[in-house]
Structure 1
Amino acid sequence: MSGVLEMRVVSKTYVDGSAEVHALREVDFTVEPGKMVAVMGPSGSGKSTLLTIAGALELPTSGEVLVAGQPLAKLSRDERSRLRRRAIGYVFQDFNLLPGLTAAENVALPLELDGMSAGKARVAGLRALEELGLADRASRFPDQLSGGERQRVAIARAVVGDRRLLLADEPTGALDSANGEAVMRLILNACKQGVSAVVVTHDAQLASWADRVVFIRDGRIVDRTAPRLGPDSVLTEGASR
């Protein structure tokens, strides 16, 4: 089965003065439709670079990246921007909600930017919020919501519309354990609807929700675990398949 995300022998090198920083080294990484992959590793290991390249925010130095079957290197900048808006959703640790917009307006905004009418975008946004138990918070501004509610709004914004790939960078880092598990359950539910997800997390307990856990160190994938063990299990780096 071909993946929604395919990274083939991907390397990324940054130039820092006279030095070269190898953020990714010959990474092979695939996420199939409806699957969740957790990515773990120490700070500076390449996790964030993997997400930015997977999300078409930057191109690799070498190798090939395909999102929804489209090779990113063959797309123009405008085409990559369109792909990001239509097919890729992002969930960040700091939520990135616009403070001057209500929850419903924050969720609907990406659809409007992609050309959907304001009315249809609002209906889609309200539907997404309702599915996440936030229908009664739709007209509230971010500073009127709890941390868990803001994160759920961010997830609704990430999955609304015909998104194929969900990228989450430490989505539970600012939440307590109960809200963290609630966020992982929401991502899992999106996967059950066919969305593919890549979740960067430092928490092995939350990573155990994933179908597969990938460990990255010094820009290289060094280990891969067995399929999902369930939220009550704890994975260790040595538990490789």
Structure 2
Amino acid sequence: MSPVLELRDITKVYGSGPDRVHALTGVSLTVHAGEMVAVMGPSGSGKSTLLTIAGSLERPTSGEVLVEGVPLAGMARADQARMRRRHVGYVFQDYNLLPGLTATENIALPLELDGVRAGRAAKAARQALAQVGLADQAGRYPDQLSGGQRQRVAIARALVGERRLLLADEPSGALDSRTGETVIRLLRSACREGAAAVLATHDAQLAAWADRVLFVRDGVAIDQTTPPSGPESLLAES
């Protein structure tokens, strides 16, 4: 079976001349269905850049990205956008919610853009909101929600539909520990149902839920390991 995500020798350079910055240098990562991989490193290490490239939101300077075995470099922009809507769930660090849409409408929009009927999309959105404990906030707008609530709406949007690849940038950053654990359990559940997940985080407790941890520093992958406890142990303990 082909991996859900392959990053092959990815390099990303911003700027030129004396302002040239290597955000990533020769990073490779393979993630199969059912796997959760945490990417750890200090601020500015390249974690977020790795996620945006994995989700086709940015192009690498060099290297190759494959999603479900398909090279992104050979896809037209419209096809990449369609692939993101159908197969990739993305949790942005700044939430990226549309202010003029309610929580339900923000979650339903990608489904509707992909041809799902409005009523069915809204029903799926409400179910996703219930999963993250926000069923009673369905009609509220982003500016009526707290930071933690906006984060959960963003996570519900990433989980709705039949997403094969979940990319999350600090998914528990605005959440208390109890709600953060609920969110991680939902991501693990999606992996058990066949999705692959990549999380950028500096939180060691969050990384302990992953199957593997990729450590990056100054844009370079310096190590890859398995957490000592492992996700199944955490599930068994709680």
Normalised by the length of structure 1, the TM-score is: 0.88
2:58 partner SS: coil
- Which residues of 2 match residues 154-173 of structure 1 at below 5 A? 154-173=154-173
- Which residues of 2 match residues 181-200 of structure 1 at below 5 A? 181-200=181-200
Structure 2 match to 1:129: 129
CA deviation after TM superposition for structure 1 residue 225, in Å: 1.4
Measure, in 1, the Cα distance between the counterparts of 2:183 and 2:124.
20
Indicate if the aligned counterparts of 2:211 and 2:230 stay in contact, CA closer than 8 A.
Answer: no
Measure, in 2, the Cα distance between the counterparts of 1:58 and 1:158.
18
Q: Structure 1: which 5+ residue stretches go unaligned?
A: 235-241
Structure 2 match to 1:69: 69
Indicate if the aligned counterparts of 1:102 and 1:139 stay in contact, CA closer than 8 A.
Answer: yes
Structure 2 match to 1:111: 111
CA deviation after TM superposition for structure 1 residue 167, in Å: 0.8
Measure, in 2, the Cα distance between the counterparts of 1:160 and 1:137.
17
1:214 aligned partner, one-letter code: L
2:107 partner SS: helix
Give the stretch that moved more between structures: 194-203 or 168-177.
168-177
Measure, in 1, the Cα distance between the counterparts of 2:44 and 2:145.
32
1:205 partner SS: helix
Indicate if the aligned counterparts of 1:208 and 1:233 stay in contact, CA closer than 8 A.
Answer: no
State how many pairs are aligned.
Answer: 234
The C-alpha deviation readout for 1:67-117, integer Å capped at 9, x for no partner, is 122100110111111111111111123322223322211110111122222
Measure, in 1, the Cα distance between the counterparts of 2:31 and 2:6.
7
Indicate if the aligned counterparts of 1:132 and 1:152 stay in contact, CA closer than 8 A.
Answer: yes
Identity over the aligned pairs, expressed in percent?
Answer: 67
Measure, in 2, the Cα distance between the counterparts of 1:97 and 1:197.
21
Measure, in 2, the Cα distance between the counterparts of 1:118 and 1:61.
39
Give the stretch that moved more between structures: 141-150 or 94-103.
141-150
Structure 2 match to 1:238: none
Normalised by the length of structure 2, the TM-score is: 0.89
Indicate if the aligned counterparts of 2:211 and 2:231 stay in contact, CA closer than 8 A.
Answer: no
Measure, in 2, the Cα distance between the counterparts of 1:28 and 1:37.
13
1:11 partner SS: strand
1:131 aligned partner, one-letter code: Q
2:229 partner SS: coil
2:107 aligned partner, one-letter code: V
Measure, in 2, the Cα distance between the counterparts of 1:228 and 1:156.
29
Q: Structure 2: which 5+ residue stretches go unaligned?
A: none
- Which residues of 2 match residues 1-241 of structure 1 at below 5 A? 1-226=1-226, 229-230=229-230
